[in-house]
Each structure stands twice: as C-alpha cells, then as structure tokens.
C-alpha cells in the first residue's frame, strides 16, 4: 500500500501596549490611561505556499501502481506520471529539476532508510533524495507494514473456511476474520500498526534532520470500504461477512489515526484522504469509485487508487499545502 495540523508560524501583528504582563492593563493603583482596552487579537500571517525542491516518498498508493503512463526507474516501483505527487508538482509549477518522486510500490517504512529490491531493479533508500535545499516533502506509507494486502487475502480465506464449516454443520462465526486476528484482547494487526508508527516517527525525525527547512506532509490512505458494509454486496458478493467488512474499516481507521498522531508529534501536517473519498470506495459504481475492487478494471491494480483517486489525493494535498 501503499497519508491536519499546520506548520504555519504565527507572527504577532499589531500588538498594543496593553498586551504585556501587567494583569490585563491595570497598574498597582487601578486602570491607567490607554491601558484598559483589550489587546488586539494577533493576526496570523499566511504561510507562503512552498515551492521546490519537492521530494515525494511513499508506497504504491503514492507511486500510482499500474496507472498509465508509467515512468521512472527502477521500473519495478511502478510509478505513474499522473500520480498525486506529479499532479501536485505540476500544479505548483515545479519543473523536473525541482521535483523528485522516489516512491515505490511495495515499500515499507524500512525502505525509507534502506534500499528496496523490486522485480525491475533496486530503489535506493528514499530518504537519500532529501537535501538541505528541499522545501516540500510528502510521505505516504505504512499500509505494507501492517500487511493490509495479506489481511484482505486472509479475510477472504477465513470467510471461505467458515462457509464450509457451515455446510458441514460445524457452526459459523459472525466475523471469522476478526476471530483470526483478535484473540485474548490482542489485535495482531494493530500491533503491526503500532510498530510501524515507531519506525515512522524515527523516519520523520530523520527527514527533519536532512531537510530542516522543508514543510512535511504525511498523506493518509483513502477509504477502501463504505460506512455501510451492505453497499459492498453488489461488488464483493457474500464472500465477506458484513461484520468483517466493518472490522477492516476499523483497522484502516486505526492506521490513519497512527499516521495522524505521528505526523502531529513530529510537527508535520497530516493530509486526510479518507474523508474526501467517502462514497468513492471500491464498492462504489465504476463511474464513482476512486479505489479499484478486487477484480479491477482492465490494466489497473486491485484495491488501489485509479487515476481519479490519484487526482483526488492530489487535491487533498494541494488544499493542505495551500492551507
């Protein structure tokens, strides 16, 4: 898989003489002339929209897996020239020398600081693209650390096994996938999310060290499933229990919550991609969906953003950047 609080500095303007530490403008003998008026409210100075250099980091949700046209090296990273970083760079008027996209499909947080091997070559450690001159960074990562692709496959398998149990009269579960991952109050997926959060926190510190003047945006994941699981029946059939679809939604919310928490702790900005994607999940109609279902349109990646999804994520990033 492949991610807000602003970093804007508030410059105090128009402070009056009564804004000091004199107890609200009163001296020892009571109100003084010109000191009993309320202090003027500080006016925040808008932070200029960052220009380049811009570096994009992340996994397949950033890279734009299988979305044509594909570009860049190594080819195994499956970067699209119309992924959200490319669209953001274009909208900001950044030329090739001011923009580097080093995102890579399949990336985990460890690939930010170490090389990643792909079927089409090795992608260098993504943070190596950063310099002291970098002024804008976007980062979308964490889903692969939590193993979300494997979770979806495992959920389908557990539901199939549960269905067979029902046929032989062995009893069925309301949520076989949840039963598989949650035992004795321990949620194994959330354990992986928490571990990814620790690594992400360290990576954000390293980004700040390498590019101290950069504004950093952690981009969350768009909503994969609708709020009402019943809406998935026409697309997913009855293969997954409604309770398990709800469980998967909860786990994605946990992932996005971790990304937000880590971003804010590091002084970065969290970009919410889930809220604007409501109603455009994998179970929406073909014309409305931004995420492809397990059986996607020809040439596209299952359970990944399509071109419209990348456009929507670009819009969310630009809204945050322009703040």
- Interatomic CA distance for residues 2 and 274, integer angstroms: 14
H or E element in which residue 313 lies? helix 307-322
Spell out the residues 6+ positions from residue 172 whose beta carbon is closer than 8 angstroms to its own: 162, 163, 165, 166
Answer yes or no: are the C-beta atoms of 104 and 77 closer than 8 Å: yes
Q: Is 180 a residue of the active site?
A: no
Q: Does the annotation count 280 as an active-site position?
A: no
CA distances, 35 to each of 28, 30, 256 (Å): 12, 10, 48
Residues in CB range of 207: below 8 A, 6 or more apart: 127, 130, 137, 139, 214, 216
**Which member of 86, 175, 211, 304 is catalytic?**
304
What are the structure tokens assigned to 96, written together? 């090739």
- What whole-number distance in Å separates Cα of residue 305 and Cα of residue 309? 5
- Of 60, 86, 103, 105, the catalytic one is 60
d(Cα 234, Cα 246) in Å, to the nearest integer?
16
Residues identified as active-site: 60, 304
């Amino acid at each position: 898989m492949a991610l807000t609080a602003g970093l804007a500095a508030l410059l105090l303007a128009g402070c009056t003489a009564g804004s000091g530490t004199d107890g609200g403008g009163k001296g020892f003998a009571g109100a003084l002339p010109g000191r009993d008026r309320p202090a003027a409210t500080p006016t925040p100075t808008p932070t200029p929209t960052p220009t380049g250099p811009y570096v994009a980091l992340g996994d397949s949700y950033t890279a734009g897996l299988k979305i044509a046209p594909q570009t860049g090296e190594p080819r195994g990273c499956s970067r699209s020239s119309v992924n959200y970083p490319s669209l953001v760079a274009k909208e900001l008027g950044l030329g090739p020398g001011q923009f580097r996209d080093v995102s890579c499909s399949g990336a985990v947080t460890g690939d930010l600081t170490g090389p990643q091997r792909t079927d089409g070559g090795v992608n260098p450690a993504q943070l190596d693209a950063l310099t002291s001159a970098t002024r804008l960074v976007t980062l979308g990562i964490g889903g692969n650390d939590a193993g979300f692709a494997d979770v979806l496959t495992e959920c389908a398998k557990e539901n199939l096994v549960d269905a067979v149990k029902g046929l032989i009269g062995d009893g069925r579960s309301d949520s076989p996938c949840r039963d598989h991952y949650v035992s004795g109050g321990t949620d194994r997926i959330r354990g992986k999310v928490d571990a990814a959060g620790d690594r992400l926190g360290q990576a954000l510190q390293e980004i700040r060290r390498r590019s101290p003047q950069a504004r950093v945006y952690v981009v969350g994941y768009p909503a994969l499933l609708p709020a009402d699981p019943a809406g998935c029946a026409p697309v997913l059939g009855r293969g997954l229990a409604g309770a398990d679809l709800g469980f998967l939604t909860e786990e994605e919310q946990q992932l996005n919550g971790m990304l937000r928490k880590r971003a804010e702790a590091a002084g970065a900005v969290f970009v919410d991609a889930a809220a604007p994607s409501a109603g455009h999940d994998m179970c929406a109609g073909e014309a409305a969906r931004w995420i492809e279902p397990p059986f996607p349109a020809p040439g596209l990646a299952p359970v990944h953003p399509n071109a419209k999804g990348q456009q929507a994520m670009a819009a969310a990033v630009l809204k945050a950047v322009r703040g």
